[in-house]
Amino acid sequence: MDCQLEVVNIEKIIFSGLIKKVKVSGIEGNLCIYPNHTQLLTFIQPGLLSIIDIKEKIENLYISGGILEIQPNKISILADSVIRVIDLDRKHILRNKKKLQKNISDNLVLEQQSKIIKTLSEEIAKLKVIEMMEKPKNRN
């Protein structure tokens, strides 16, 4: 059995189609959602969004956060931002992470520090997604 998945952000539709399964990081842990999942409304943590469509094609995306809504035959994700995993650049992310960590140690006002910490946590989540995608390659 299949269900409809819509992944959107403020700018465009990221994905729209029939799926067999979706994996996403909820605020209380990882969720694996199949058709006929119980109804749910929750926030999404930065991390991996893995979509398996009805043709068994896998789409792996980094999602920086958002809201997940599950209805009987429809799953909706309103995403803050989405990047295809293959487009994540480890070197660029590590440079950003290092710069952000340095900025935290500077004497900034609390509001600036909280913005930097949020951005830093997103960069760390991107790195975790890259590592998750590389693990299966290392097993072969």
pLDDT per position as a tens digit, 86-116? 899 999 999 999 888 887 776 666 677 778 8
Tokens for 77, please give them: 């994700």
The pLDDT score that the predictor gives to residue 8 is 94
Answer whether 8's CB lies under 8 Å from 81's CB: no
Average pLDDT, the chain: 87
Which are the contacts of 82, defined by CB distance < 8 A and separation ≥ 6? 7, 9, 14, 49, 61, 62, 63, 64
Q: For residues 62 and 49, give the distance between their C-alpha atoms in angstroms, rounded to a whole number.
A: 6
